[in-house]
Structure 1
Amino acid sequence: MPELLLELFSEEIPARMQARAAEDLARLVGAALAPLAPQDVQTFHGPRRLALVAQVAPGTPETRSTERGPRAGAPEQALAGFLKKHGATRDSLREEGGYLVLDRVVPAVDAATIIARELPSLLRRFPWPRSMRWGGTSTFAWVRPLRRILCVLDGAVVPFDLREGEDDGHGLASGNETEGHRFMAPGAFAVAGFADYRAELAARHVILDAAEREALIRKDAARLAAAEGLSVVEDPGLIAEIAGLTEWPVGLMGRIDAAFMDLPPEVLRTSMRVNQRYLSLRNPDGSAAARFIVFANVVPADGGAAIVAGNERVLRARLSDARFFWDQDRRQPLEAYLPKLAEVTFHAKLGSQRDRVDRLMRLAGEIAPLAGADRALAERAALLCKADLVTGMVGEFPELQGVMGRYYALAQGEDGAVANAIRDHYAPRGAEDDVPAEKVAVALALADRIDTLTGFFAAGEKPTGSGDPFALRRAALGIIRIVRDNDLRLDLARFVDAEVLDFIFERLRVQLRAEGKRHDIVAAVLARGADGDLLRVLARAEAIEALLRTEDGANLRTAYARAANILRIEEKKDGRAYDAPPDPRHYREVQEQALAAALDTAEPAIDTHLASEDFVAAMTDLAALRAPLDAFFDHVTVNAPEPELRENRLFLLSRVRRAMDRIADFSKLEG
């Protein structure tokens, strides 16, 4: 199959947009060139280029088809509609069997023609988050000025002009040329195919593959750190960003002035990461090292001395600002910042951040004893937990909210549990983060998320299928993880309404599905009635799942489905519910008596074990119904001709259904 190579060469593309743009390019090209059945599609992205290589069909074959139109002699309006639909003329029609017929021939089209036809419109609608126009009055927009389009098919240029027909004199035609490194290998060169393209770029100091650049950055950083007896602080996001800023990354090590090393390590790392894109280093004991690694995009002639000196100078200025905030913020206690929170709107319908603090104090105080935390400490942590939002340091580095609050709380002599809760109540921020473990932090973290969910639901700001601007799904998952990881017995129904509780348990089902577990059993448990104790719901679900894995459980579930179906059909047919107790006087068969006796034993035992939350024992009680229920269906005709027998047997099946529904609604189980 012919090889298609496409490169879009531009001014510097923001690093955060590159990977998504490469995905969009693959998706759009795949759709636009679908007639050519692209295969082995690979994309590449970097500071100045998006590239794609794929194998495509040589073209599309000639096709013939026959379209039957209106009847001969049909009204002119019907004929005109048919001709317009197919882009045909009256002369191209023939009559056959009383109908007008159009013979259509779609000629074969070679791949180059299709590519040249489809790519201009594809590039015009490319979904950059932000784009710009340049070059006079052109209507074409790209993320940054687009300088070249390389488009070759098996070594031959696929010719098209992106802005053909525009009168600004700034047409951009496809060709077979690209450029190497901006500084170390400037100028254009021609390529014939992908292997040639990749090799020539490497020879001109451009590493095409972002993953290869990332690997080089990790390796170079580890080498430099090891030479000083240090280790690199893991930061995959920053490494990916550096790979998006450099075509030929070269690591260099710089020093941090000793005068700044008493700043919190998080301040050092955040300042270097956010402002300068430096990698941070650690000493063997885990403390922050007075070193950093910066990546240049050139091989410096002086070994990097000038680049390092310049970056050290800039870092001193940045850390001097951080030093000012650090010293200034600690001149007053955290309580002194509370009035400023009243000036910060949390949400138009939910008041200020100060209003939120009042709600958190009340909630954290109620949750604290349930989490085994000291109520006074939980309320104190809630009072101070948002104060650092209006400090200078967090204003400069929002990423440090909570972190700085902890440092400031410790500086003013707060209890360590209070200080840690101020930091940890934001956790978990993501799926990979640890959850809070200290009891005061657990109480405050739950209060924070419960307030978020109840507040935004009450304000009508619920998540939709297309968006969740207030991260309410993440808040619900945070509650689930905190409760599960800490084995916390907590009735959420005490703090949220039914709608919010349903939302939380829906996220639980999503989480269980992601873990490969039986999420449908949770739905079956909840269908029997609201239960806000997440651990109790999970324990009941696990016991049911264990039962269903046994032969007794599988057969019992089948029997339940049979009983439920019979009742559903007969109740619908008769227009009544068969929910009265059965009359023992109407038991004719020994199997009826045996099933009733088994229920007499199982029902109180199930209730006792459910009350003590011994769900495994309750499942054993339930499994005891399997044999008598099987025997009942094997030997007893439910729809007996005698009305009183039929009614009584339906009452007995209803009793079976109620007994099983004590544990879960088995009709909700999938499969």
Structure 2
Amino acid sequence: MRRAKPFEPMPDLLLELFSEEIPARMQAQAADDLKRLVTEALAEKGLSCEGAAAFATPRRLALHVAGLPARQPDLREEKKGPRVGSPEAAVQGFLKSAGLASLAEAKIEVDPKKKTEFYLAVVERKGQPTLDVLAEILPAVIKRFPWPKSMRWGAASVSPEALRWVRPLHAIIATFGPETEDPEIVPFSVGGIEASDVTFGHRFMAPGPIKVRRFDDYAPALEKAKVVLDPTRRRDIILHDLRDLAFAQGLELIEDAALLEEVSGLVEWPVVLTGEFDAVFLDIPPEVIRATIRANQKCFVLNDAESGKLANQFALVANIDAPDGGAAIAAGNARVVRARLSDAKFFWETDLKVRLEDRLQKLEAVTFHEKLGTQRERVRRLEALARLIAPQVGADPELAARAALLAKADLPSEMVGEFPELQGLMGRYYAAAQGEAPEVAEAIGDHYKPQGPGDRIPAAPVTIAVALADKIDILAGFWAIDEKPTGSKDPYALRRAALGVVAIVLENRLRLRLLDILALHKKIVDDDLRKLHLERARGGGGDSAAMTGQVGPDTVPADLLGFFADRLKVYLRERGARHDLIDAVFALPGQDDLTLILRRVEALGAFLSAEDGANLLGGYRRAANILRAEEKKFGAEEAASYELPFSPASLREPEELALANVLDPKGAEPRWSAAIRDEDFEAAMKALAQLRAPVDAFFEKVTVNAPDPALRLNRLRLLAELRRAVNGVADFSLIAG
């Protein structure tokens, strides 16, 4: 490619696709897709750029590609053909593929290896002007643009070949050229729309056409026409103005990143205003007010700066500088907010008239999963499991069972029916209102937590018992019916549930045996389904998969434990732990106590980061490699003999005697084994460090493959004992580095 000289500015591409409103949720991905598709298509044509940036507003996608060459590089390609004297068909095929008229245009070369002559075509192609390349690739990008949903419109929409776009496309800007010259319009059309250098400003405040040359004047021209092109800048403007307006009125903004993202995709010229609703609505739970205002009007709620309580005011983002300063817009939003809050108040007061336990009957008609029964049947499992988990986490079993019984009772409530995201939270309010114990109300409200990396982790014992029961029931149930996550698909959020269990256990330093809990759950499920089967059999019911009397094979607990291991790796890796150390500890038998695993991993990591640990790992690998080589060389029968005890009486060298003494001090249990049994992992690692010096000395002074077969075998058994001893702490063969 010809390089431009410093005083020769390279051309830029400006592309804008102007349409009706693009849904806010699609804008960011669409901008990324536009940038990716165009730059990839340019790269395929041998055209690289200095940089590219994409932008989105509700009515346009824009792309600026900087520093493109004026034309493609010339190509010179050598195509090897058949040997001289080949059949005519092979020769003609070569001429056609190389674009040659006859063999006179080919060269003859000699293959130095085969000492034969062959034809060679030198194909030279001059690069096209980049303008022509753009005219080819841009229509293709637009026609195959990957919108999640798209439409056809107008008279041409009857044709299946008609352009599909997210909303009707009205105009296309496509200009190309250096900053020192007037750019050229890229000559193409799509769907009857000719590319041009004309766009349009704000729909209401500056709807007229705007002629632009390149990106440097395009963005400022839009700004003058009341369009903020950059979505990041729109977000910053909105957030800054929301904070300032709230502060000026003695209020505090309750920030909402997801709502801010959505609102910035609804406006091209953000104008922040405030509205007001009747103070009587403040008797409704604040989360309900926030959900109502957020869901229905895309507005932000505000707190009183002095009391910290919710204020009867809200903030909204308009898309216009209104002549009255936005008074009519604010009043219109306030009318809608008041109507919606009236509905919410009605739902709230209606729900308070029905006790939670009286709602449980409605859960009989709500299917949790066709193979796992109804929500009511699931509640029975949660109640039984929470009661069993409670003593292990320091909770009152009766309170835990009560909370589990009522945990899902808000699902048929009016409020949760309107705002499903408030499930659990509304149950807490209803439980408190009907006089349930505070621990029960808190557990109902928080038993879904944590639902993500930044979510609060339950710490109250009753809440922990119910939260664990909820997540373990989901995991074990879906595991039993073979509905496991596959690849990126996880429709039942099982990865999140397992991470929730890991987080609750580790953050609270709980000592739980997961295999025992999973076995208890399986017994509860099997007993529950067996009773259900008998009841339905007496009543002449069907024979669905949910009535087999047993759910899932006995291998479910062990299989699910491996899934917990994977989630534990994810959880600890985010906190800087090494996944190979987790593998090394999990490889030991009976590792289902997550807190104990964490302690072992932490102690092992500290040990291996020290010189003694690193050197012992090297010695272990040397021993393992020797054993592996000998096992491969002499077969399985001799390999099995290595696992027999070594004979201390047959040891000769001081170094092998020293190693044997540390591994088996006069028949006593090694100190690291005793420390591990006592769960003192730091002491175990210190004791294990005693192996470092004798292992180093052994490999420096002792020849393992001695001429004497009996001596060789005994030394191999000594190394096998070393491997076994070290692997009793963790499987060192799985440790990287």
Same-fold status (TM-score > 0.5): yes
Structure 2 CA distance, aligned partners of 1:173 and 1:92?
46
**1:604-643 equivalences in 2 (<5 Å):** 604-643=670-709
Percent identical among aligned pairs is 52
- Cα deviations by residue, 1:408-463 (Å, 9 ceiling, x for unpaired): 11111111111111110111111111111111111111111111111112222211
Q: Which residue of 1 aligns with 2:630?
A: 570
- Cα deviations by residue, 1:278-315 (Å, 9 ceiling, x for unpaired): 11001132211010011110011011111111111111
Q: Which residue of 2 aligns with 1:503?
A: 563
Tell whether 2:106 aligns with 1:94.
yes
Q: Which residue of 1 aligns with 2:524?
A: none
Shift in CA distance, 585/213, structure 1 to aligned 2, threshold 3 Å: same
Structure 2 CA distance, aligned partners of 1:77 and 1:321?
82
Structure 1 CA distance, aligned partners of 2:384 and 2:478?
18
- Cα deviations by residue, 1:350-377 (Å, 9 ceiling, x for unpaired): 2221222122112211211111111111
**Letter matched to residue 41 of structure 2:** A
Q: Point out the more displaced range, 579-588 or 85-94.
A: 85-94
Contact 2:389–2:517 (CA under 8 A) maintained in structure 1:
no
Tell whether 2:342 aligns with 1:320.
yes
Structure 2 CA distance, aligned partners of 1:197 and 1:92?
54
Shift in CA distance, 162/509, structure 1 to aligned 2, threshold 3 Å: farther
Shift in CA distance, 10/92, structure 1 to aligned 2, threshold 3 Å: farther
Contact 1:159–1:173 (CA under 8 A) maintained in structure 2:
no
Structure 1 CA distance, aligned partners of 2:459 and 2:621?
43
Contact 2:400–2:440 (CA under 8 A) maintained in structure 1:
yes
Q: Which residue of 2 aligns with 1:167?
A: none
Q: Which residue of 1 aligns with 2:278?
A: 257
Contact 1:157–1:174 (CA under 8 A) maintained in structure 2:
no
Q: Which residue of 2 aligns with 1:134?
A: 153
Contact 1:93–1:101 (CA under 8 A) maintained in structure 2:
no
Tell whether 2:209 aligns with 1:209.
no
Tell whether 2:206 aligns with 1:161.
no
- Cα deviations by residue, 1:246-281 (Å, 9 ceiling, x for unpaired): 111111111111221101000100000011011100
Query: What displacement does 1:511 show?
Result: 2.5
Please give the secondary structure, in 1, of the residue aligned with 2:155.
coil
Q: Aligned to 1:445, which of 463, 467, 487?
A: 467
Structure 2 CA distance, aligned partners of 1:410 and 1:122?
58
Q: Which residue of 1 aligns with 2:451?
A: 429
Query: What displacement does 1:81 show?
Result: 5.1
Q: CA RMSD in A?
A: 1.7
Structure 2 CA distance, aligned partners of 1:86 and 1:451?
66
Q: Point out the more displaced range, 643-652 or 563-572.
A: 563-572
Q: Which residue of 1 aligns with 2:248?
A: 227
Contact 2:449–2:467 (CA under 8 A) maintained in structure 1:
yes
Structure 2 CA distance, aligned partners of 1:89 and 1:619?
79
Please give the secondary structure, in 2, of the residue aligned with 1:116.
helix
Contact 1:116–1:158 (CA under 8 A) maintained in structure 2:
no
Q: Which residue of 2 aligns with 1:69?
A: 81
**Letter matched to residue 677 of structure 2:** A
Q: TM-score normalised to the size of structure 2? A: 0.88
Shift in CA distance, 440/89, structure 1 to aligned 2, threshold 3 Å: farther
Contact 1:325–1:392 (CA under 8 A) maintained in structure 2:
yes
Tell whether 2:170 aligns with 1:144.
no
Q: Which residue of 2 aligns with 1:105?
A: 124
Contact 1:595–1:625 (CA under 8 A) maintained in structure 2:
yes
Number of aligned residue pairs: 665
Q: Which residue of 2 aligns with 1:166?
A: none
Q: Point out the more displaced range, 554-563 or 527-536.
A: 527-536
Q: Which residue of 1 aligns with 2:13?
A: 4
Q: Which residue of 2 aligns with 1:553?
A: 613
Please give the secondary structure, in 2, of the residue aligned with 1:436.
coil
Q: Which residue of 1 aligns with 2:260?
A: 239
Q: Which residue of 1 aligns with 2:29?
A: 20
Shift in CA distance, 93/376, structure 1 to aligned 2, threshold 3 Å: farther
Query: What displacement does 1:670 show?
Result: 0.9
Q: TM-score normalised to the size of structure 1? A: 0.96
Please give the secondary structure, in 2, of the residue aligned with 1:557.
helix
Q: Which residue of 1 aligns with 2:541?
A: none
Query: What displacement does 1:603 show?
Result: 4.3
Tell whether 2:36 aligns with 1:36.
no
Q: Aligned to 1:595, which of 656, 659, 663?
A: 659
Contact 2:662–2:670 (CA under 8 A) maintained in structure 1:
no
Q: Which residue of 1 aligns with 2:293?
A: 272
Which runs of 5 or more residues in structure 1 are unaligned?
A: 164-169
- Cα deviations by residue, 1:368-426 (Å, 9 ceiling, x for unpaired): 11111111111111111111111111111111111111111111111111111111011
Tell whether 2:402 aligns with 1:383.
no
Please give the secondary structure, in 2, of the residue aligned with 1:69.
strand
Structure 1 CA distance, aligned partners of 2:49 and 2:517?
55
**Letter matched to residue 681 of structure 2:** F
Structure 1 CA distance, aligned partners of 2:568 and 2:383?
27
Contact 2:79–2:98 (CA under 8 A) maintained in structure 1:
no
Structure 2 CA distance, aligned partners of 1:80 and 1:325?
82
Which runs of 5 or more residues in structure 2 are unaligned?
A: 1-9, 110-116, 519-556
Tell whether 2:667 aligns with 1:644.
no
- Cα deviations by residue, 1:139-174 (Å, 9 ceiling, x for unpaired): 2111111111111112524434343xxxxxx50111
